[in-house]
Amino acid sequence: SAVISQKPSRDICQRGTSLTIQCQVDSQVTMMFWYRQQPGQSLTLIATANQGSEATYESGFVIDKFPISRPNLTFSTLTVSNMSPEDSSIYLCSVEERNGIYIQYFGAGTRLSVL
Amino acid sequence: GQQLNQSPQSMFIQEGEDVSMNCTSSSIFNTWLWYKQDPGEGPVLLIALYKAGELTSNGRLTAQFGITRKDSFLNISASIPSDVGIYFCAGQPPYTSGTYKYIFGTGTRLKVLA
């Protein structure tokens, strides 16, 4: 399976600032996904990032708040903009591998606390 | 939208006991995945299920794809302390809108008492 590296692993940020999270994969992948996991909760899909096209956002998530870049087949970034304490969560990068079926693998996540 | 109900929500068991958990939905799924998430880590894939009725094992873990395609089960035999964590199921609905997105269950928090 692909090896996924996320940076930073954790951060503490001030209200009103922005944080960019990086996701690097050791192999070329078509589909990358960004999830949010609020404390004690399950995973919620923010958006799907396909190389060469605009990210597709899920209901309740907008590009102005969570801009995503996907410059190549091994890298993506998620920015959490104008942060508030409600944005305190774990943000997870995931990649899709296709081998007859579609399986998602995850990075270790970025633990964000907003004061 | 589609939802996955996972149960139990949490469980405390004695070391050596067997564990069972399940995911159910009112919708059908094409693929089921089971993950484990340790504190401070991302989810790690345990088992993937591709066909209705399929039974697949990975060491002490056994998972089944329900025959109705609306549910899946995970069993852990002879639990050990390192089985502690949160277990998530994920179901893939039929292909829509050009992507194969997964829906995640609410998680089962497992604690093992030595």
Interface check A103 vs B, CB under 8 A = yes
Q: DSSP 3-state helix, strand, coil percentages of chain B (rounded to 5)?
A: 5, 55, 45
CA A106 to chain B, closest CA, distance in angstroms equals: 6
Q: DSSP 3-state helix, strand, coil percentages of chain A (rounded to 5)?
A: 5, 55, 45
Q: What is the pLDDT along chain B (114 residues), one digit of tens a residue?
A: 567 899 999 999 899 999 999 999 988 999 999 999 998 899 999 999 999 999 999 999 999 999 999 999 999 999 999 999 999 999 998 876 556 689 999 999 999 887
Query: Does residue A51 surpass a pLDDT of 80?
Result: yes
Q: How far apart are CA A90 and CA B97, in angstroms?
A: 27
Q: Looking at residues A23-43, what average pLDDT do you find? A: 93
Count CB neighbours of A66 within 10 A. Answer: 19
Q: Looking at residues A85-111, what average pLDDT do you find? A: 92
Query: Does residue A84 surpass a pLDDT of 80?
Result: yes
What pLDDT does residue B98 have? 58
Residues 6+ apart with CB under 8 A from A63: A54, A55, A57
Q: Token digits for B38?
A: 């340790």
Of the candidates A21, A87, A23, the one whose C-alpha atom is nearest the C-alpha of residue A51 is: A23
Give the residue numbers in B contacting A (CB under 8 Å), as ranges: 31, 33, 35, 40-45, 48, 50, 88, 90, 92, 97, 99-102, 104-107
Q: Across the interface, which of A42, A102, A105 has its CB nearest the CB of B107?
A: A42
